[in-house]
Chains A and B, each alone.
Chain A
Amino acid sequence: MAKVLMKGNEAIGAAAIQAGCKYFFGYPITPQSECPEYMARELPKIGGIFLQAESEIAAINMVYGASGAGARVMTSSSSPGISLKQEGISYIAGAELPCVIVNVMRGGPGLGSIQPSQTDYFQSTRGGGNGDYRLVVLAPSNVQELVDLIIEGFDIADQYRNPVMVVGDGMIGQMMEPVEFKEPKKRALPQKDWATTGTEGKRKPNIINSLYLQPEDLEEHNIHLQKKYDEIKHNEVKVETYNIEDAEVVIAAYGTTARIAKTAIDKLEEEGIKVGLIRPITLWPYPYDAFEKINDKCKGILVTEMNTGQMVDDVKIAVKGKYPVHFHGRYGGMVPTPNEMIDKVKAIIGGEK
């Protein structure tokens, strides 16, 4: 298929429709409103339904109902809206239903700003709702990848009966880039024989639920969920690595920041300084193993994010104390520049602790 020029937020909608998503429930919030606007325009044309809910709480619960009824369904929002959705996300994870949730992150805490940020790393990878659950968290760093991951995200959600969250930021949502809509690799997807579609007199009633009043039963359910999460950890890790075999410093960054890091790495290479990159594409499951391939002469790891260092914990787990871990971040909607990263890399090479 030919490439088309698309804005990130609209590409999210187009990708979802290509993936067979016919239902979208959402509530406006900057910087992602072009996504629901796109769905409002396009879904009726294909017999799908866009509904603007009265709140994010209602939107995610509509997703919960639609997914329970067996549909491919999506919602998108930005940070404060995602906070409201956490109740429903926990229920969806607990009831093991598939859906795709997009978070086009903005600055926080609270009302924060409408500028790009990556401040919801903890919230998405550790669970912002109650209980021991995990989302598959995908972090694209350009519009093409955003499209690819949304499309594959629906399959991942169906395969594991688990919500998938795609995290972008205001930058990816707002930028225009050429994209191609490709078929994802084929996965063997299970039948949705659990859906509440009416028994039609052919089977016992289906129940979609996350309530287990007996502690033994709830423990068993949690053991089952953990097994599923282990399987996801085993099968679904995605990461891009660059030059880590002979790098003096390795930058760990995802999404928009990884893109900026690439510019910094290219500039440093011109100066004869070899810097590697580890770019997690799945923030959960986290690509811990990728850090094993870093060479012994590496002087340190530079984590760079648009937050105060939320991914540093994961990087420390990954490097197991073998390399010093440094951090450079900008907050509140400020975007780090390649030059800031270059200075920081040089400081690390120069022996900064």
Chain B
Amino acid sequence: MLDTLASLSGGFETVLTFHNIVLIFLAGIIGTVIGALPGLGPSAGIALMLPLTFGMPHASGLCLLTGVYMGTMYGGRITSILINTPGDAPAIITALEGYPMMCKGKGGLALGISAISSFVGGFFGLAVLVFFAPVVAEYAIFLGPPEYFMLMLVGLSTIVLLAGADVFKALIVTCFGFLVSTFGSDYISGHVRFAFVPELIEGVDFVAIIIGLYGLGEVFYNLERKIVLNLGKPNFGFSDYIPGKADLKEASAPTVRGSILGTFIGILPGAGATIATFLAYALERKLSKRPETFGKGAIAGLASPEASNNAAVPGSLIPLITLGIPGSGGTAIMLGALIMFGLQPGPLLMVQSGDVVWAMIAGLILANFFLLASNVLLIPLFVNLLRLVQKHLPSIVVGLCIVGAFSLNYGTFNIWIALIFGVIGYLMRKNDYPTGPFILAVVLAPLAENYFRQSIMLAQGSWSIFVSRPVSLTLVVFMVLVVCASIISKQFLRRRRVGTE
């Protein structure tokens, strides 16, 4: 416990510089704006910010990315409540209760309550992250290649959860991700694979892929559909955002329940914030003495999912930091960012780069406080900023994507890659092919392949190594459980959705 607190204070020492404080504050605001923009969720936010981290110290770069990640969770609720258009998937449930409140003239109250619930959820998740992650990491350093390989497989097995309605489509994009990841030098044999041009010797740049897939792909989709935002002219007085005592009392118990649920759902690989919000909403409706008020502006139905989606962010960072398993699309990109920074995600991360990890956690705690303040004080500014840029969004996003891709190696090759994946992203979105499994495969497949081949080498060609070691066998069982739980929870959610409708 004392060691943990000492490490955390070390993280704060790194983070508490003028440069980092400004950076974290801006990251929160940028994340809030991105989260509020329909279609641009956490994955797109992190992807767009990734090029800005080049040349930054690792701790600052990670603070920027996690700040944006946390900010998108705060921001997603704004357009949900104001115009019934969720900024990202976890904010879908927020619209169910937030928009009816808006229609009743309580939009300001909905924004205020959701901001406070988000803060409490985020804070609870961070507390669990601070005290739970070192415990997991302590035991995780004893793992070898077979266990690493099984961990990667556990991560990949979460594709079932990210799959959406059609598992075949998810499997297709997963295989595609695997193949994209095979370009470039093979680390085991040194063989260069599919380097059709010299730039491909190092493989296809992950950042260029996600810039194209999420940034350009989204612009292309909106351009074809002629989707133009119409945020209207909300006119709130500042006092509207501060909830009264009675409202806070009504929101308190659901917020606590949502925080606990969100954190633990976030820890489960592949589950993530969206599932957490659906479960939190279902739980509140079940526990409510007046379930008939749900869907008509129930404060409990707004507070609990909002707390849960923010709690899921630090929750999903626990398996990422300690085991190298991304729990969501956003953390899959974070995993790529860690690799890009030259850090080694997995059990050794907290041992070899503990200072950077603790600085990132300290940055997240700071970001959570900044986000509460900015989301209460700056809501009118956010709303007007969104209204200002909404009609020029395609140009802004294309500009950022092109310059971001150029920054990767100061050449046009990665811009072409981004354009190609932009078209692929558009085609995937248009035909309901999920992007989450693709990203997961691109990130995890090279690691899984290396660990797999190392394990087979270690066992001199025998496959029994994966079941003869206790930890590896446990992970095999866990993977089976994850797949089964994913299928069961999907069935559960489907029934719940039908019930809600």
Bound pair (A, B): no
